[in-house]
Structure 1
Amino acid sequence: MSTYTVSGRFQSRDGFQPFTKDVDAESESLARERIYTLVGSQHARKRTQIEIDEVSTA
C-alpha cells in the first residue's frame, strides 16, 4: 500500500472549501474513491459536490 496526497475542494454554503488529505490506498483510483467517501461523510456532500484537483504519492 502507498500513501497518496489528494488535494481538491468541496462545495459548501460559503462557496468552495479547499482540502488536502493523505490516504493509504493500493492505487490512485482507490485513493480517489477513499476521498469521495471520507469527505462526503464528514461534510455531508455528494460526489458531484467534490472536486479532486491532484493526486500524488507522498
Structure 2
Amino acid sequence: MSAFTVSGRYQARDGWQEFEVSVDAPNEDVARERVYANLGSQHALKRTQVELGEVSAS
C-alpha cells in the first residue's frame, strides 16, 4: 500500500472549507473513495458536497 495526499474542499456551514488528508491505499481511485467515506462519516456530508482536487503519492 502507498500513502496518498488528497486535497480539495467541502461545503461547511460558513462556506467552503479546504482540506488536505493523507490516506493509505493501493491506488488513487481507492484513495479518493476513502476520503469520500471519511469526510462523509465525520462531517455528515454527501459526495456532492465534497470536491476533490489533487491526488498525489507521498
TM over 0.5: yes
Q: How does the TM-score come out when normalised to structure 2?
A: 0.98
Q: Percent identity?
A: 60
Question: Root-mean-square deviation (CA), in Å?
Answer: 0.4
Q: Which runs of 5+ in 1 are unaligned?
A: none
1:17-56 → structure 2 map (5 Å cutoff): 17-56=17-56
Aligned residue for 1:39, secondary structure, equals helix
Cα distance in structure 2, aligned partners of 1:13 and 1:42: 14
Q: Which amino acid aligns with 1:9?
A: R
After TM superposition, what 4+ stretches of structure 1 lie above 3 angstroms from structure 2? none
Q: Which amino acid aligns with 1:45?
A: L
Q: How does the TM-score come out when normalised to structure 1?
A: 0.98
